[in-house]
Amino acid sequence: MPFDGQLLPLRRLTVADVLDGAFRTFRAVFAPAAVIVLVIIGPLQFATNLVLSRVAPGIVGGGLSAIIDLDVFAAAPADNALVLTNLVSGLLGYLLSLVASAGVVALLLAVDRGEERQVTSPLGLAFRVLLPTLIASFLLGVLGIGAAIALAIGSVVLLVIPILGVVVMVLVVLPLYLLGIASFVALISLVVPVAVVERQGPLATLARAVRVFTRQPLRIAWISLLVGVVTVILALALQLPFLLLSEVAPTGGWAIEALGETTGQILSVPVSAAAALLVYLDVRVRWEAVDLRHRARTLVPR
């Protein structure tokens, strides 16, 4: 699994290989991966929608038409509660998504070593590496925000310069923005497999993720961005029937939408984690000479 008995082929992985391998790996461990996502992320999603249905009824439970007609600039009587709920939910959601992704990565490596497809051991490992994963991701976020602010200031300065500033803005700054976003997505995705496989401290995890990324930055950024776009589109497609159902349901629309969002994450979280693991292992094999025949026994120390 997923390449005829080997996690990686002998040639360098292409974008198609990563996508195909991620989805085939997901199918191979669908049941335990789905349980991990349901147990870790599902309760928060239902709790968030329940709270939102009370503090801002127009936000959830109205189906697809309610989302289309939603005026995000309209004032609501419970603005503070809405902002607080979304903030807490977003932070907790990101934290739990790290746990779920790490659990899926640990599950894939355990299956690759010939162990049973179970949930408890991978989740235990995921919680053990949560702190370095979280701190490394936070530091990456700080660096990303700093870079974005620097580019924004540079953009304002350039726009003051007539003609030449606009040309530089279009030809240089905007491509840098796009490249920076793709690089940030790639680096964030690499933190989880690095933390699970190598089990180092936060700074070492961050440095290692950056080192892996700089081996082939453009290729890794392109693969990560494309995988992200594909998984988001497929996750939204899975949510669509639930949105349509919640629109006609007489009651409990918030719960139906929460179920749809969780269903989308059952696909997106494991596939994204599998793709990140494949990219990470591919870099180690091509650039650091990890022996495939011994990797299954030695890559993750017991």
Decide which of 84 and 291 is more confident. Answer: 84
User: Positive or negative CA dihedral for 222, 225, 231, 234?
Assistant: negative
Tell me, what's the pLDDT at 9?
54
Tell me, what's the pLDDT at 213?
92
Q: Over the range 22-48, which residues count as b (16 or more CB within 10 Å of their CB) and which as e?
A: bbebbeebeebbbbbbbebbbebbbeb
- Residue 149 confidence class, pLDDT cut points 50, 70, 90: confident
Q: Write out the two tokens for 129.
A: 């590496």
What percent of the residues of the chain are helix, what percent strand, and what percent coil, each to the nearest 5? 80, 0, 20
Q: Write out the two tokens for 5.
A: 């008995």
- Distance CA(281)–CA(299), nearest Å, equals 10
At residue 195's C-alpha, the angle toward residues 194 and 199, to 5°, is 115
- Distance CA(182)–CA(218), nearest Å, equals 9
- Distance CA(297)–CA(301), nearest Å, equals 8
- Distance CA(301)–CA(295), nearest Å, equals 10
Which of 25, 24, 23, 19 lies closest to 223, judged by CA?
Answer: 19
Tell me, what's the pLDDT at 70?
56
- Lowest-pLDDT choice from 52-56, 71-75, 170-174: 71-75
The pLDDT tens digits of the residues spanning 120-130 come to 888 898 999 98
**pLDDT exceeds cutoff 70 at 203:** yes
**pLDDT exceeds cutoff 60 at 36:** yes
Sorted by sequence, the CB contacts under 8 Å of residue 99 that are 6+ apart come out as: 40, 123, 126, 127, 130
- Residue 144 confidence class, pLDDT cut points 50, 70, 90: confident
How far lies 72's CA from each of 236, 244, 261, in Å? 20, 21, 20
Secondary structure class of 34 (helix, strand, coil) = helix
- Distance CA(31)–CA(89), nearest Å, equals 26
**pLDDT exceeds cutoff 60 at 249:** yes
- Residue 64 confidence class, pLDDT cut points 50, 70, 90: low
CB 222 within 8 A of CB 15: yes
Tell me, what's the pLDDT at 51?
83
Decide which of 250 and 22 is more confident. Answer: 22
Indicate the average pLDDT of the chain: 81
- Lowest-pLDDT choice from 7-16, 94-103, 162-171, 284-293: 284-293
Tell me, what's the pLDDT at 63?
61
**pLDDT exceeds cutoff 60 at 302:** no
